[in-house]
Amino acid sequence: MPIPDLRFTRELLSRPAPGKIDVVTRLRHFAIVSYAVAPDRVTPHLHPRFECDCFAGDDGAPRVWVSIVPFEDQDFRFVRCPWPKFRFGQTNYRTYVIDRATGARGVWFFGTSLASWTVAVPRFLWKLPWHAARMQFDCDYDAAAHRYRTYHLATRSAWAPVELELEDTGAAVERLAGFDNLESGLVLLTHPLIGLFYRRDGQLGTYRVWHDRLHCTEGRMRNAKIGLFDRLGLVPFSEQSQPHSVLIQPESEFTIYLPPGKLPPAPA
């Protein structure tokens, strides 16, 4: 199968001007832990408008990433009203898709866990598939060595419990299996700016984010127990010790464009 030739273009790296209710937030302990799985595990969870954005696995068969993306929002705040600020843990669960109608790439969210009472706003006002959780990050970052000494996340949640322990090599990512061109893999995995999902009322929803290019270090898995991936049949517990890749970014700033909306119908 053809491997896409994707680049960090000026368009991807140019920040759209935020509006009055848009949000900026500094993320810490940002990680992308990805598994390469057969598309037939993922397709049942997608709307038919979308197909898996596949690459070739080691055996030449198509694979698609599914990723758990944990981080801690340090100062979640509105652009035009920087006070108050909110701090909370968050974990996104996603895969990578192509819109059959437009050809656009994006990420499909299975859902999000949020460790804050503010989860009620996206959940009930905008019908996002977000769920309450309690999260504890036990992380120790060595700034001189540019690596984590310790990275551990424990999440208590009826919807998506997690135990995750990572090792940080401190080395830059040099290769992503399935991609001869590292930049293509990094664009696809670390720089999706359009999110898609089933709203809680069953309709299709979408929202946009922006961030600068990430410069992740390569991590390794020490321990993983990701309840949602096992329950959905995406990655059984028995396979979670062997991710496709572990990428770690100690800090990055994101812009979130609000409000999220319903996805417009496919062009005729």
pLDDT digit string, tens, across residues 91-141 = 999 999 999 999 999 999 999 999 999 999 999 999 999 999 999 999 999
* Number of structural domains found in the chain: 1
What CATH code is carried by the domain that includes residue 32? Answer: 2.40.400.10
Residue 83 in this model has a pLDDT that exceeds 90: no
Question: Among residues of the chain, what percentage have pLDDT more than 90?
Answer: 88
Give the pLDDT band (50/70/90) at residue 58. Answer: confident
Q: What is the pLDDT of residue 36?
A: 97
Taking the C-alpha atoms of residue 100 and residue 51, their distance in angstroms, rounded to an integer, is 7
Within a domain: 3: no
What burial letters (b/e) apply to 227-254, b meaning 16+ CB within 10 Å? bbbbebebbeeeebeebbbbbbbbebeb
Residue 3 in this model has a pLDDT that exceeds 80: no
Within a domain: 223: yes
When the pLDDT of each residue in the chain is averaged and rounded to a whole number, the result is 95
Residue 84 in this model has a pLDDT that exceeds 90: no
Range of the domain at 222: 20-262
121 dihedral zone (left: phi>0; alpha: psi -120 to 50; beta)? alpha
Within a domain: 90: yes
Q: What is the pLDDT of residue 2?
A: 59
Give per-residue pLDDT as tens, 212-268.
999 999 999 999 999 999 999 999 999 999 999 999 999 999 999 999 999 999 887
Of the candidate ranges 16-20, 201-205, 224-228, 231-235, the one whose mean pLDDT is the lowest? 16-20
CB 232 within 8 A of CB 160: no
Taking the C-alpha atoms of residue 219 and residue 212, their distance in angstroms, rounded to an integer, is 21
Q: What is the pLDDT of residue 79?
A: 81
The overall pTM is greater than 0.85:
yes
Within a domain: 204: yes
Within a domain: 244: yes
| Strands 130-132 vs 105-114: parallel, antiparallel or unpaired | parallel
Within a domain: 155: yes
Within a domain: 208: yes
Within a domain: 12: no
